[in-house]
């Protein structure tokens, strides 16, 4: 079973992906994380992508498809994947058709103001990439690595504004594109409450092991 998580920045896709992984064994794949790893490793693809990321713009399709398909080829994806942050445009969704069969799409709904607030509160571990939030009362060091948390380079007001505009313009048309297999969930509640309807939905699809 392969699923897509849609939802604006800060709507909690990464948090939801972790829960789905725990119960259903699907592998979360975040194109943003893949790019950040590539940057951290000093790879040319990542360094090229960073120019777009720092401005909050979409990375061109060829680079994005390359990093995604290389990840999907790895053996751990055989049981299925949770795509977080891909596709982000109709163009990407069309390209994805040739790569992977998508069973369902879950869309997290959150107001722009709340997305803003959550992104400004977001902190990440520079070593392992784990996400934290000052809104959830997290401290300022990674509980796994013990290193000091930082802000993401693109969690600044200008890039946040562009990212939300890009989401609205390029990504929301996917809600119609996938209307035949879509679950909409309000993201304005606790992570447990966001997960509840998702778990029911996926269990009915027959993914529960």
Segment interacting with Zn ion (CB under 5 A) among 48-56, 107-115, 121-129, 190-198: 121-129
Contacted entry of Zn ion, ligand ADP, none for residue 9, CB cut-off 5 to 8 Å set by kind = ligand ADP
For position 52 contacting ligand ADP by CB under 6 A, the verdict is yes
For position 150 contacting Zn ion by CB under 5 A, the verdict is no
Nearer to Zn ion, 143 or 203 (CB): 143
Give the DSSP letter string of the chain: --EEEEE-TTS-HHHHHHHHHHHH-PEEEEHHHHHHHHHHTT-HHHHHHHHHHHHTPPPPHHHHHHHHHHHHTSGGGTT-EEEES---SHHHHHHHHTT----EEEEEE--HHHHHHHHHHEEE-TTT--EEEGGGT--SB-TTT-PBPB--TT-SHHHHHHHHHHIIIIITHHHHHTGGGEEEEE-SS-HHHHHHHHHHHHHHTT---
Q: In sequence order, which residues have a C-beta less than 8 Å from that of residue 197 and are 6 or more positions away? A: 183, 185
As measured in angstroms, the least distance from the Cβ of 136 to Zn ion is 16
Nearer to Zn ion, 8 or 142 (CB): 142
Contacted entry of ligand ADP, Zn ion, none for residue 82, CB cut-off 5 to 8 Å set by kind = none
CA 106, 103, 193 angle in degrees (round to 5)? 30
For position 28 contacting ligand ADP by CB under 6 A, the verdict is no
For position 128 contacting Zn ion by CB under 5 A, the verdict is yes
For position 32 contacting ligand ADP by CB under 6 A, the verdict is yes
Among candidate residues 13, 71, 118, 123, the one labeled active-site is 13
Binding mask 152-191 for Zn ion (x = CB under 5 A): ----------------------------------------
CA 122, 124, 129 angle in degrees (round to 5)? 140
Whether 181 is catalytic is: no
Please identify which residue in 142, 187, 198, 202 interacts with Zn ion, judged by CB under 5 A: 142
Among candidate residues 36, 118, 123, 152, the one labeled active-site is 152
Contact residues toward ligand ADP (CB under 6 A) are 9, 30-32, 35, 52-53, 56-59, 64, 85-86, 88, 92, 154, 163
């Amino acid at each position: 079973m392969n699923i897509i998580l849609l939802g604006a920045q800060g709507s909690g896709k990464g948090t939801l992906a972790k829960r789905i992984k725990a119960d259903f064994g699907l592998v979360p794949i975040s194109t943003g994380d893949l790019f950040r790893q590539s940057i951290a490793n000093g790879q040319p693809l990542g360094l090229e992508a960073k120019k777009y990321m720092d401005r909050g713009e979409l990375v061109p399709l060829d680079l994005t498809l390359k990093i995604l398909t290389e990840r999907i080829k790895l053996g751990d994806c055989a049981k299925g994947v949770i795509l977080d942050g891909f596709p982000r445009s109709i163009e990407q969704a069309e390209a994805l058709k040739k790569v992977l069969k998508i069973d369902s799409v879950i869309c997290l709904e959150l107001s722009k103001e709340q997305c803003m607030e959550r992104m400004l509160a977001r902190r990440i571990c520079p070593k392992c990439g784990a996400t934290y939030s000052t809104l959830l009362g997290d401290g300022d060091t990674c509980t796994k690595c013990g290193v000091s948390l930082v802000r993401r380079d693109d969690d600044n007001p200008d890039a946040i504004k562009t990212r939300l505009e890009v989401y609205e313009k390029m990504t929301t048309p996917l809600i119609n594109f996938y209307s035949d297999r879509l679950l909409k969930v309000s993201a304005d509640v606790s992570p447990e409450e966001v997960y509840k309807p998702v778990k029911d939905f996926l269990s009915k699809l027959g993914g529960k092991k």
